[in-house]
Structure 1
Amino acid sequence: MKKHQIRIVGGAYRRTPISVPEGEHLRPTPDRVRETLFNWLAHFWDGTFTGRRVLDLFAGTGALGFEAASRGVEIAQLVEQAVPALAGLRAVQARLKAPAIRIHTGEACAFLRAQPAPSYDLVMLDPPFGANWLPRLLPLLDRALLPGGLLYLESEAPLDALPPEWTLLRQGRAGQVHYGLTRFAATQKNMNNGRFGPS
């Protein structure tokens, strides 16, 4: 199977290649978008990633989670259920030997439901498009994300219908992909009444 590569764009593991198998329907976040996201995070986190805990719920190639580990977060928790993607994640983890990286095999909603208490400063959501994931995920995020924490998301739809519990801080577009950084309010009551994504 042919492969192409992306690279970690910043931090301690900068330029580390990550293989992307063709035909596995992986859609890694482009270099330019990742650089933009981590510039945003540096702004809101006063230039330091030390002590931050981040969760990448649809890890895929691991581009977002490995980028976070490269910048120095305390924990970069990657969640993935596809066997080929998991093999790629573990290969990069073994190469980097980064203590921050954790890999969990499983489904995103099940992972959130199993969280004993909120503990993450950032959740990154880049779910498969066309599967209506966001309305299912948003009501569960308070199980993992600390009040006032940040949510990064990518969507095929504009980010103009977020529930009122979220404040859109930054947004951009790369081709057909809309992406943005939002802040999580202290409560998510009635989140199911919020409309987001395709109906």
Structure 2
Amino acid sequence: MRIIGGRSRGLHLAPVGAGDALAHLRPTSDRVRESIFNLLLNGGHGNLVQGARVLDLFAGTGALGLEALSRGAAQASFVEDGKTGLALVRRNIALMRAEAETEVWRRDATQLGENRGAGFDLVFLDPPYGKGLGEKAIASCRAGGWLAPAAVVVWEEGTAPVPPAGLDLLDQRRYGDTSVTLLRMPG
């Protein structure tokens, strides 16, 4: 697993192997991550990464948020509730030397509570597949004020999810066993 593009292109991240079933780690493949960033940078919606405040929910290894930083995001915050995932996120932040532009929070992405800062422009959502956690995390983000106006949510799931009411569907694509859905909050 490596950073695909931007200033840290080619940086190898901490190895996870095929994932950690007990920790529910299923890293986004380099190919799917590259496809996601092609949509965010060249998908006809403008550059959705440059200068963005990024929230990486169910962060796992942190690869999505770190890829965004490498490609011009201003800041990334990572939410992970597992010890293995937290250690990987912190290790990968250190490998990228991105401590000054990141925050790591140990909490449940489906119960975020109130956001005490500005809303996030770009949210990566990669929950364990088929458990309804994506819907709960989006509801938690909305209830707690975590999403900025016109924020974009990139949601990975095993099957294409139905967009929650009040979010606009920008794009939806399938890559092997992964469905990627781009949603936008009202402006």
TM (normalized to structure 2)?
A: 0.86
Structure 1 stretches of 4+ with a deviation exceeding 2 A read 43-51
Encode CA deviations 1:159-199: one digit per residue, 9 max, x unaligned: 3x22331211122112221112111125xxxxxxxxxxxxx
Unaligned runs of 5+ in 2: none
Aligned ranges for residues 28-107 of structure 1 at < 5 Å? 28-43=27-42, 46-47=46-47, 49-98=49-98, 99-107=100-108
Encode CA deviations 1:103-139: one digit per residue, 9 max, x unaligned: 112211333x131355100111000113221232222
Q: What letter corresponds to residue 71 of structure 2 in structure 1? A: R
Question: Residue 22 of structure 1: CA displacement?
Answer: 4.8
Q: Which has the larger radius of gyration?
A: 1
Name the structure 1 match of 2:158: 156
- Kindly report the root-mean-square deviation, in angstroms, between the aligned alpha carbons of the 2 structures: 2.0
Encode CA deviations 1:58-103: one digit per residue, 9 max, x unaligned: 1001110110111121111111111112111111212221122221
Secondary structure at 1:12 match in 2: coil
TM (normalized to structure 1)?
A: 0.81
Q: What letter corresponds to residue 108 of structure 1 in structure 2? A: A
User: How many pairs does the alignment contain?
Assistant: 179
Q: Is the 8 A contact 1:58 1:125 kept in 2?
A: yes
Name the structure 2 match of 1:120: 120
Q: Is the 8 A contact 1:121 1:146 kept in 2?
A: yes
Is the counterpart of residue 15 in structure 1 residue 10 in structure 2?
yes
Name the structure 2 match of 1:192: none
Following the alignment from structure 2 to structure 1, what is the Cα–Cα distance between the partners of residues 165 and 9? 37
CA distance change for structure 1 residues 8 and 107 in 2, over 3 Å: closer, same or farther? same
Secondary structure at 2:168 match in 1: strand
Unaligned runs of 5+ in 1: 1-5, 187-199
Following the alignment from structure 1 to structure 2, what is the Cα–Cα distance between the partners of residues 68 and 105? 20
CA distance change for structure 1 residues 36 and 22 in 2, over 3 Å: closer, same or farther? closer
